[in-house]
Structure 1
């Protein structure tokens, strides 16, 4: 991951090109960021679980495609919430939040970022995490083949087979309050052009956390 990002910080031209592409094609860039970085997180997670970076049936390419489209969804939700939550906060009497989110770091901007993160992680995140687990299981059930991308997902069967003790007891109850809410508060304190990239980097951490959850579920 460090090697992947290093050129953007070592070359001013490449960094400027990244900013230009990010401004003109935000959702395409989100697809690429999550497709690459979050898949890297899955690969690291596999290493944690099995000691290998790849194995038959894992399906790196299907994971990358799914993560790419999930990344577009995440980017759209981040934009929606970053505009909507400050507006709602102001309707509750917290004046100046929307303007503060566009400026330098202040206590009011921190409050705004925390409110956005709280909203995101108590509404969108549980649905997203569950859908991610469902697609992950579907890819595994199809032997890691690209056919998983075109075959219907047996939602009822997969949902009923999920380890809800781990999903609720670890993924929701522990990672959301103790990792994701603080991490996304930091995300929304960043300038908009860096938020999706930082969120994609957090996807690496997501892969690691979900792998720890999977190991816990086997105990």
Structure 2
């Protein structure tokens, strides 16, 4: 383990330690999360998702940063995307029970449900979110990543106009469809977000941010393994 790895571990410890050594920290988090949910969503994704990408880069290339990676612009973009994700989660978790009622299936938006019904509700929300919002989000995230790379990972990427059409045309849609959509959505995101929507509301956005970290690490480990075997593997993020 190198010094930079120890530094990363130290940052993570400092980030989470207050919740274990200071009782008021958790209460304060709950209060802010309740009163400023979308601001908190910004910081959750800006910090956790970016750390996840940095760890993934470390696993793949041996570095937490590299030219063009752009930690700061990535963090800000992740924060903005995090707000969008939080809004989507609220929209789908509130709207799907109403939709199901139109089919004669009564699933309350709130309140305690039997385990089977609760799992069914969470699964339906996850399916609808990941088959509608999910592909749009994944594609937009790919566009923003490409834009940051094209601007050398510099903060100017945040104020430089994005050429959506040009970037969209340059994407590998065969990979985007065959791997990103057809594999990660049904085999990772739908099951993972089913668990997300089984959690209490105050933990859902945080868990969603942690899922992005987990997927980035899993894909990076797989990429390294495939590289050793000289078998190509495609990567994605959400």
Q: TM-score, normalised by structure 2?
A: 0.84
Match of 2:96 among 62, 85, 93: 85
- The match for 1:108 is 117
Q: Distance in 2 between matches of 1:167 and 1:133?
A: 10
Q: Distance in 2 between matches of 1:166 and 1:213?
A: 15
Deviation at 1:182, TM superposition (A): 0.4
- The match for 1:216 is 233
Cα RMSD over matched residues?
Answer: 2.0
1:164 pairs with 2:181:
no
Q: Distance in 2 between matches of 1:10 and 1:180?
A: 33
* Structure 2 contact 45–79 (Cα < 8 Å) conserved: yes
Deviation at 1:209, TM superposition (A): 5.7
Structure 2 CA distance for partners of 1:63 and 1:105, relative to 1, 3 Å: farther
Deviation at 1:161, TM superposition (A): 0.9
- The match for 1:196 is 205
* CA deviation string 1:24-63 (max 9, x = no partner): 0000000000000000111122123322111122100000
Q: Distance in 2 between matches of 1:9 and 1:114?
A: 32
Q: What residue ranges of structure 2 are gaps of 5+ in the alignment?
A: 1-8, 225-231
Q: Which has the larger radius of gyration?
A: 2
Aligned residues: 216
* Structure 1 contact 117–185 (Cα < 8 Å) conserved: yes
Q: Distance in 1 between matches of 2:48 and 2:211?
A: 9
Match of 1:41 among 52, 77, 80: 52
Deviation at 1:171, TM superposition (A): 1.2
Q: Which has the higher helix share?
A: 1
